[in-house]
Every structure is written in structure tokens, then in C-alpha cells.
Amino acid sequence: MKIEFLLNGEAVSVENESPTRTLLDWLRENRGLNGTKEGCYEGDCGACSVMVTSQDENGTSHLAMNACILFLPQLHGKALRTVEGLADDQGNLHPVQQEMIDHHGSQCGFCTPGFVMSMAAAHQSGQVNHNDTLAGNLCRCTGYAPIIKAAKAAEAAPKSKTLAADAANLPSIDVSQQSHGAFIPQTTAEFAPWYQDNPNATLIGGATDVGLWVNKLFRDIKPVVFLSQIADLREIVETPGGIRIGAGVTMNRLRTAIQPRHPDFAEMIRRFGSTQVRNAATIGGNIANGSPIGDSPPALIALGAILRLRQGKKLREIPIEGFFIAYGKQDRDKGEFVESIFIPTQPDNLKCYKLSKRFDQDISAICGCFNITITDNSVTDARIAFGGMAATPKRASVVESTLIGNPWNEATVRAAMAKFATDYHPISDMRASDKYRAHTAQNMLLRYFYEHQSGPKTRVLEQRP
Amino acid sequence: MSIRKPLPHEAARLHVTGTARYVDDIPTPANCLHLAFGLSQVAHGRIKSIDLSAVHSAIGVVEVLTAQDLPAANDVSASHHDEPLLAVDTVHFVGQPIFMVAATSHALARKAAQLAVIEITELTPLLTIEEALAAGSEFEDPPTYLKGEPEKALNSATHQIDGTINIGGQEHFYLESQAALAFPQEDGDMLVHSSTQHPSEIQHKVAQALGQPFNSVRVEIRRMGGGFGGKESQGNSLACACAIIAARCGRPAKMRYDRDDDMVITGKRHEFRIDYRVGFDNYGRIQAVDFKQYCRGGWAQDLTLPVADRAMLHADNAYHLPNARITSHRLKTNTVSNTAFRGFGGPQGVVGIERVIDHIAHHLGKESLQVREANYYAPKSANAGQTTPYHMEITDSVIDQISDTLVDFSGYSARRTAVTEFNAKNSILKRGLALTPVKFGISFTLTFLNQAGALVHIYSDGSIHLNHGGTEMGQGLFTKVAQVAATLFAQPLSAVKITATDTAKVPNTSATAASSGSDLNGMAVKNACETIKARLVAFIAQNWQADPAKIRFTKAGVEIGTTILTFQEVIATAYQNRISLSSTGFYKTPKVEWDRTKGTGRPFFYFAYGAAVTEVVIDTLTGENRILRTDIIHDVGKSLNPALDLGQIEGAYVQGAGWLTTEELVWDARGTLKTHAPSTYKIPACSDRPAEFNVALFEQGENTEDTIYRSKAVGEPPFMLGISAFMALSDAVAACGDGTQYPDLQAPATAEQILKAVMAQKGETW
């Protein structure tokens, strides 16, 4: 397998490396590029952030990514910038680097290269929502204020020509490759039969979960197949009836695509992982790994989404809630994979409530998604689903039936709140106790009611000093 | 003059370009070995058998050692020699190293370390404070500080209340995990690069592990990627392991903990339970307080005793307690051995008294600020002769001035009204506001540690080489000390080369800890520079026939009467005239003396003061919360570098607020840490900083003691400003009730804790 990409402007070709070699280890151990740091080796601290430039049917993108959970084949055909390659060709510091010095944005300096790369990627993409673009970079020294000042101060500076030039020099890579127990297909038509023949293969979309299997659990996951070159899995198709999202669509692209239809879903995705994680993670991966605390399944269940599975040439469509059978068990045959998800067009009644210890970049203790239809002040339909309340993402069917057919008032809501105890028997773990989960699940319905009625304010994130 | 300027961190340019070198970045030869520990999965038990055959035969493995293979001392303890590098017979916590693997790569070592088969006969572990108390498992008899007649005063006070607060621990989460690298030298010598706040201790431990005198080991550290106390003693294991393997195999050896291993193996901030009884009058003036502090020390002593001492020493915070009794239980448990963490027990002591004040205010239905003001130590000018519970007279208090200034600066009164109005209008969201002060004692309480050395060379071209015993972990120590040297010779900062801390240059150093770094090392460097300067002045006076009183080092050069020579010319001439241009420097803090067993004396040279106002909002349906605004005034004396000082204050506040809000350590019933990675342990992220954050230095600040340019230490004191966030949350919870029931918020105040407290206020069942 031959992996070709630009490294700080220079074409490199990597052969004879394990397909699950992480970019971070390769940079530090093979290339002596020690500026990229290891802070956690699981994509949660951002010290290893690098910038990846790529071009596809959606245009050019400059994305911050975590090098510790990025396997080398994922870089094939792209351009990589590390902190060593951020200054311009004359050696002048990038504006974010200079502003970090001027605003005292570094103390111990260990997280700084990662911050600088996230800031540079945001700057190159014209993004100024710094709390979001830097949510995936942890700093233990500064308290962040000077870093944000630096990011703001750099906003007005012109974009880097050096970084922009990478897009024009990307290696061309339109050939599928297969060797060393790894496969990089170019189309679904190529991948589907291969997977039927190799049903034990590990599918890698963004590697934000699989990366941890390798780094932390020492799992041998071969054979592996990298799906990121498959353009048709990245498609988003809008029709009057709904929106179809390919399994390979990243969470950040999903966020943009879903914003006009269901802004609260988009707001929940804003808090899903971090910028670096959302730039890599795919919707297909978030569904297919079947986690009881994945955040998109409860929203998709509440929206009545339909999952399309494919096995060879055979297609199958099921309501997404039917996919999650039990903990670790999904309705997926050998060699079958999630191809796309379809969300029917509907009035936007969706609210998503994600509870976690920290607002940003935290796995949900509970994620409740509510889609309640009120007609003539009466509940005519209700789809409510939760993550973190059971062994799978699960609907609150008793709560739903208690609501449906009744007048939309606080008495109905309170009667339905009592039914959560029938629908769910949550557990206690390091994220929350069973009682906290039980109480807040109920209270979320009350919050939905208040929000619907323009009642008292309930969201602390919308409060200003 | 270089001092007092807001200069950037000396390594800022290296940081932002990724060229600042940390231990793991040091180039190593291809034959370097990489180490990992095999860890106990059991909290307490006897080792029955260890089968390492699969480890030995794993790919890349070169050496596997257990306790019996060690060449000399099996001891990495910072204090009591009760902490073996590798377990002997018994394991004492989940995560205790049992064996070490050396392999050809970091990944292969980690992988191989998973393959051991270890049989352990489990014994009943003592995991909690309560279990240890019941079993009488304490490191020493509980010491008590006694002032006045607390029992009598309590009983005769108009009001008496009591309560308990549990305070969680805290993971340091330095971004650079622990790391060490050892290079074997000739004749059994060893060079060790260690990410440590305490190179001298690393030197001693490594020498003992090798069975060599101290002079055969040299330890070097240029910088750490964060320390916060977590690298005061916790690096000993890695450094010793590397040195042992390096000596045995004749190859360099490196060890760095994977993040999960780091969080499982290394000590944390001590969990505390504090029981209190307090008697007070109608104004909220404290007549007497009785504290019982219980701290979870973990399985070995490490620094638990001095940490628990400092908690006792800060049980008064900024308040005069006429009668007090403070008792401290230091509990030995089958959990990780807790260690130093910014504040070193002080923050837990301060939380105790702030909790008491908050409780008093709630009991009397008073604004908590009034109760605080009623209890502040009197200012110096009042000459009130007030003493602490350990009988040290307070002569430098500026807390009343800082508090008053902050009340104006933050618009406290108007905002109190606004918060009350907000809470009346909003049934679900509630706001809270609190001002908390801090008074923090500066000096090592182990008095002999208050010493420092420096080594300054001037080369014949006039460039200056600076070295001292302090270590750089991001706090800006090297910048400040270089500013001192540059100022003394009136040279630009760029003329001063800052070099790695090195036990071969400055020996017998204390840890860079207790906020003392710039106080001690700044003075030692000043002493060294002044020695050289005195030689230069004597030489100039003789060589240029000048009056010594008229020789001045200025920006323009060296002024000799009306003649001005460049510094470089003077140095070159001095060299040619065989003047020594190198000097050591030394400093020891005056006036401090402390009898730890009696609980009397003057443990601190001086105090640092500050105060913060925090406003929060909580959601009473979920417990979710936000810090909306924070205002801080903090006293750094006359600042050596205002930019670095502000950075320390802001960072410490956020770290302190994190400790008391989102940072929750969770162990399961078997004593296994469940929050061992950033995916489950949540330090503040970018958006968690206060939405509005106003921080100012106390303008009138000036150290009354003769410290380095009258500055004050800044590393730890502002950490306790974060307590205002916790008290503001308590205030918001109180707004959910009718005033009859105290919120009784426990720390950390996670969303879950807040919801629980809110429901109690509303009379709902949890």
C-alpha cells in the first residue's frame, strides 16, 4: 500500500507501514516532527491537532484533526500541515502564532502547537466561533482567556497563501488499493462485494472510535477497509420528501445540512465531540457502532428516520429504532453495512437535550430527543427517544402513548412524566447516577412543554452576564 | 529595567512553533529502550504468583523485572520510605506497579505489559474515609491546633450550627504526562532527563535505586508541560525505572506514561471531609469554630502529612477566629497515594471556612458578604494583634482593602439586586452571586526547604548564562528570574541565556513548589549577580581610578563618573585582568520557624491576598450551570511581570472552579478509578471560562517583607479564588427554597449534585 500526501508542502509517499499506524506516532517516530504532542492518545485533548487540506465534490476544506486517532491511509491524497509547517515560506510566523505570543497565550506550551493548528485551520476557513473551534483543545494553564484574545486578534489578518497553496498541489489518487490487510476502495460498488467476502473486516470511517480500539485496547482489527475515499457514501441528497445522508458524511457536514430543518439537532451536534472529532467522525459510524450513548440515534429515532442497509447489491430499509436490538447487537447481517439514512420532511418540532458533566466535548450522560406534534391544542403524535437510559438508544413508548390524544397542558405533561419509570430503568455509572438520569429524563419533557409554550426560560447556555 | 514589564514567556516563540523541547522530544539513539509498568488490578491483596512468560516472549521485549530483580533500594517514596518502586508481596491499590517491561518501542512495551498472569489473594480494601476511620487506619495520631477556649465559647455563643462538607479530589491533568529518559554514562554514572519539579529528589532516588552516591547521578530538566504539584514526587518511579534498565542493559531507557496509566498510577489532590461546629453572634461574627478535617491519603504517605498540615493552617482563610480547634485525621486507604496539587491542602481548608461563613449567612438570613466583612482579619493599621489558630500574628492583612475595591470593581451591590430580581422573575433558571477572599501563607512549612541556589556566569563577550534550582512548568519562573538578572546588569533580557535546571550546576535544591519559585530563586540569582557586580565595581574602581559610588550599570552602559563604557567592554577588560566572572548565589528565607508537632510559630514569611466575585446561573430542571461573570482583584505585591501574574491568576481561577464543579473522580466498589481519561474526567474546556472575566492586580500591592523587588508569590494563592464559583452555586441553590434549609451543596458541584440540592430545597425526594 502506498499512501501519498503532502507533508508541510512536500510530497511524501509512505509504503510498508501498518495501516493502523497513527499519524501522531509516524510524525514523531519516523519523521522527527516532535512539535505535534501526545496528550491523551484518544482524541480528547487536542495536543496532537494538525491541519488536513483536502478537495472533493464539496470543494476545498482546511480541517483540524487529531493526529493520534488518524491512521496514515486516511491521509491518502490530502495535504497535512503540522506546527513545523505553519510559518510562511519566508519563515514569518502565521498570524495566530504571533498573536499567541503577543497575548501570552502559552504557559507550559505543551498544548500550544495543537491550539495553534486548530486556530490556523479556523482562520483559513474563516471561522470565528472560537469556543466551538477550540472546544477540542484542552489547556490546563491559562484558563483560555488569553488564547481567545489571540484568536480574535488574528481574525482580521489575511489568510495564509502558503496554506492555501496546498490545495493546488494535492496528489491524485483515483486508484483503489489493497495490501497488508487493508483496502481503500473508491466506490460503494467496489466496496460492497468485497465486504460480503470479508465480513470480519473492520470498517473505518473517521476512526474516532476505532482509533481507541487500537490505541487503548491493543486490538488487532485487520483486515481493515477505509471508507473515506468513497464519494457516493458522502452524498447528501435533498428531495421534497426528505433528506438522505450518506453514511460517510461527517458530523460537521451533517450539522450544516440539518441546521435549516432541525436547528436543535444542529445545536446538539455542535456539542458532539469537538471540531476535530466532528471533522473525522461519520454519521454511519455513530449509528453502526450501536453505542447506547451515541448522540445522533435518539434524534434520528425521534425524527422517524429510515436506515438503508446494503449487503452486496441487496438493499434493505428499516426504521432506525429497529436497528438497535440489544447492547452490542444490531440488526445487521454479515457483510451488511449502513449505506445511508433518510430523514422525512416534517414540521420542526424537534428538541434535543444533551446532559453531560461538561457542555463541550463530553459524552452524554443522557440525551433526550423530543418530537411532539400538537394539533388544536392536543397531542396528535409523539416520538421521544433517549440515549443513556437503556442498553440501546430507545423510545419512550409508554410516555408517548400517555401523551397522545390528550390536551397539551401541564397536567398531561406531568401524567406522562410519571411514565418514564415504566419505559426506562437506567443504571449508575461514572457519568451520572440512575436517579439523576430518571429525574432529568422526566424534567426534559417539562422543559419541552415550557419551550413550546414560550414559558419560563430553561437553557443556561442562552444566558448572558 | 526589565522587571515589572509585561514581557512574554521566555519560550513563547518556541511554544508556538513546536520547537520547545520536552523530555519525550529529546532525540534518542536507535537502541533506546522503552518502558511500561504492569499494574495491579486489585486494591488490596497478597501476590500469590506472577507468570511473566507471555510478557517475556512478546515482540520487542528485552527485559522484564520484578521487585526481586532490583539492584538496590526499592523505594520511590518522597517521605516515609513506604512506597516501593515495584510491589513486594502485597498490593495496596489498583494501579500499583508490580513489574516493569523494557521493549524496543513505547507501543510494544505497553502491549506486552498487558500479558502477565498475576494471581492475587484479595484482602478487604479500605477505600473511603469512613472505612479507614472505622478501621483506625491513620498515618499518625490526629494533630490538633488549639486557640482560646473553643468549647466554652461555642456553648455560650448566641447561635450554633454544625454541618459537613465532602470535597472531592482533583486530577492534575498536566498536558504532558510523566516522562523520564536515562542515559548510562561511564563508570556507572547516570544522566537522567526527568519531567520533574524536584530534580534533586530524582537524583537522590535514582542514586539509591542504583546503589550509588548522589554524585554519580545528574538530573536535568529544561521544562515541563505542566506540573501543578503532580510532578513534585510522582516522577520518581519513572526516573528510577529508566535508570535501573539503562544501567542493566547499557542502553538509554525512556518511560512516559500513557494518559490512562498516568491517571491511574499517580496521586491526586486529597479528598477531604470537613465536619464543623461554629458559634456566632447576631452579626455573624464567629466566636468559636471546631473543625474536624479528614483527608484520604491513599496507601503511602508521600506528602500527605504536610498537605494535611497546610489544610489546618488555612482553616481560618482570611478570617479572625478568636477561639478555634482544628483536628486533622490523615487516613490511610487502599487508593492511589495522594500528593501535592496547587495549594497543597490549603484550598480544602479554605473551602471549610468559606462553607461555614456561607452557612452562617444563610442561618441569619444575611448577605454573605456582610458576614465575611464582619470576620476579616483587621488591617495592619488597626494594630489589633490578631493571631491565627496557630498563634502567628497577622501584620500584613490587606483583605479588607481588596474586598472593598472588588465590591466597587465588580458592581457587587447592584448585581446583588439584579440577581434577586432575576430570581423573582424566573421559575426555572436561578442566578447566584458570591464574593470569596483568599489569604495564603507563603513558605515551605518544612522550614529547612526554604533555601535556594543559583549559578551565574558572564562570558567574555558579555553574554550572561543563568542557572538556578527552580524548574519551569509554564509558570514563567525562568522569565521572571531572567528579568532579575537582566535588571541587575542593566542588560536586555535577550542577553540572558536561560538554561535547563541541572543538579550538577546547583545542588541540594528544594522542589519548585509552595509558590516559592521566584521568591527563592530570584533572591539566589540576585545574590549571585551582586557578587559578580561587586567584583566588577571593585575592579572598575581600581582600573579606571574611579569612585566606587559613582559606578553605575545603566541601559546606556557602565557609567564610570562621566565616562560610559559598554557592558561588553567592561566584561572583556575584566576578563583580561583575571576577574572571576562566575558566581554561585544562595538565599534562605529569614524569620520563619515552625514547630509542627506543637502547632505554633511562624510557618510563613508573609501572606498573599486576593478576592473574587463570581455570578452563576443554574437550571433547576437538570442542574446544568454556567459561570456568567467573574471579577478578581489579586495581590502580587509589586509585580515582577504583570502579564505572567495575570496569566497565573486567570489560569488558577479556572482550575479552581473546575475542581469544585465538573472535575469528578469516580471509583467503583473495587477501588478502580473509572474516570481515567479526558473522555470521562472533565477539566474546564474553552467555553467554561467565565463569559465575562475581569482580572486586575491589586494596585497598592507591596510586600511588607523584603522579598525579591517586593513582589509576592502567585502560583497557588489565586487557585482558591475558584471557590467563589462554588459559593455562587450554593447561593443560586438557596434561591430555590424558602430560606429555612441550608443548601448543603457537596463538592464537586456537578450538575447532578446541584439538582440534588435543588430538589432538597423544594422538598422533593431525590
Q: Mean pLDDT for each consecutive 10-residue tract of chain A (465 residues)?
A: 95 94 98 98 98 94 98 96 96 97 98 98 98 98 98 98 95 82 94 97 97 96 95 97 98 98 98 98 97 96 98 98 96 98 98 98 98 98 98 98 98 98 98 98 98 96 96
Measured distance CA(B543)–CA(B244) in Å, rounded: 55
| Region A231-344: CATH code | 3.30.465.10
Best mutation target, A98, A138, A141, to test chain B (most B CBs within 10 A): A141
- The minimum CA-CA distance between B682 and chain A, rounded to whole Å, is 6
Report how far apart, in Å, the C-alpha atoms of B444 and of each of B603, B705, B712 are.
8, 16, 14
Confidence of residue B313 (pLDDT cuts 50, 70, 90): very high
CA closest to A150 among chain B residues: B16
CA closest to B474 among chain A residues: A108
- Say whether A42 and B475 touch across the interface (CB within 8 A): no
Confidence of residue B116 (pLDDT cuts 50, 70, 90): very high
- Say whether A100 and B12 touch across the interface (CB within 8 A): yes
Give the pLDDT score at A176.
Answer: 80
Cis check: omega of the bond before A223, within 30 degrees of 0: yes
Per the listing, cell 450518506 goes with A246
Confidence of residue B597 (pLDDT cuts 50, 70, 90): confident
Q: How many CB atoms lie within 10 A of CB A432?
A: 26
Give the pLDDT score at A353.
Answer: 98
Chain A residues with CB-CB distance to B21 below 8 A: 34
- The minimum CA-CA distance between A146 and chain B, rounded to whole Å, is 8
CB–CB of B758/B736 below 8 Å?
A: yes
Give the pLDDT score at B380.
Answer: 84
Q: Which of B259, B474, B625 is facing A39, going by the closest CB pair?
A: B259
- The minimum CA-CA distance between B417 and chain A, rounded to whole Å, is 14
- Say whether B225 and A87 touch across the interface (CB within 8 A): no
Measured distance CA(A101)–CA(A31) in Å, rounded: 27
The b-or-e profile of B422-460 (16+ CB within 10 A means b, else e) is: bbeebebbbbbbbbbbbbbbbbbbbbebbbbbbbbbbee
CA quadruple A399, A401, A407, A410: dihedral, nearest 10: -10
CATH 3.30.465.10 in chain A, residue ranges: 231-344
Show the CA angle centred on residue A80, arms to residues A78 and A81, nearest 5°: 155
Mean pLDDT computed over B350-377 = 98
Q: Which of B24, B678, B686 is facing A45, going by the closest CB pair?
A: B678
CATH 3.10.20.30 in chain A, residue ranges: 1-171
Q: Name the H helices within A281-353.
A: 283-288, 296-302
Active site residues of B: 716
Chain A residues with CB-CB distance to B675 below 8 A: 430
Per the listing, cell 500527605 goes with B304
| Region A1-171: CATH code | 3.10.20.30
Q: Which of A25, A358, A464 is facing B688, going by the closest CB pair?
A: A358
Best mutation target, B170, B175, B694, to test chain A (most A CBs within 10 A): B175
Report how far apart, in Å, the C-alpha atoms of B121 and of each of B41, B43, B55, B149, B334 are.
12, 11, 22, 50, 15
- The minimum CA-CA distance between A204 and chain B, rounded to whole Å, is 21
Q: What are phi and psi of B723, to 5 degrees?
A: -65, -25
Give the pLDDT score at B292.
Answer: 98
Give the pLDDT score at B211.
Answer: 98
CA closest to B665 among chain A residues: A430
- Say whether A47 and B688 touch across the interface (CB within 8 A): no
Q: Which of A44, A97, A443 is facing B17, going by the closest CB pair?
A: A97
* Complete DSSP assignment for A398-425: HHHHHHTTSBSSHHHHHHHHTTHHHH--
Best mutation target, B7, B114, B475, B686, to test chain A (most A CBs within 10 A): B686
A/B interface, count of CB pairs below 8 Å: 267
Give SS3 for B210. helix
Chain B residues with CB-CB distance to A116 below 8 A: 16, 18
CA closest to A142 among chain B residues: B651
- Say whether B680 and A431 touch across the interface (CB within 8 A): yes
- The minimum CA-CA distance between B761 and chain A, rounded to whole Å, is 15
CATH 3.30.390.50 in chain A, residue ranges: 351-462
Q: What percent of chain B has pLDDT over 90?
A: 98
Give Cβ neighbours of residue A96 (< 8 Å, ≥ 6 apart): A116, A119, A120, A123, A150, A151, A154
pLDDT at B247 over 80: yes
- Say whether B175 and A110 touch across the interface (CB within 8 A): yes
Give me chain B's average pLDDT, please: 97
First to last CA, chain A: 55
Confidence of residue B383 (pLDDT cuts 50, 70, 90): confident
Report how far apart, in Å, the C-alpha atoms of B493 and of each of B5, B20, B498, B529, B568 are.
11, 18, 10, 14, 15
- The minimum CA-CA distance between B12 and chain A, rounded to whole Å, is 6
Q: How many residues does chain B have?
A: 766
Q: Which of A87, A130, A443 is facing B622, going by the closest CB pair?
A: A443
The topology under which CATH files domain A351-462 is Enolase-like; domain 1 (3.30.390)
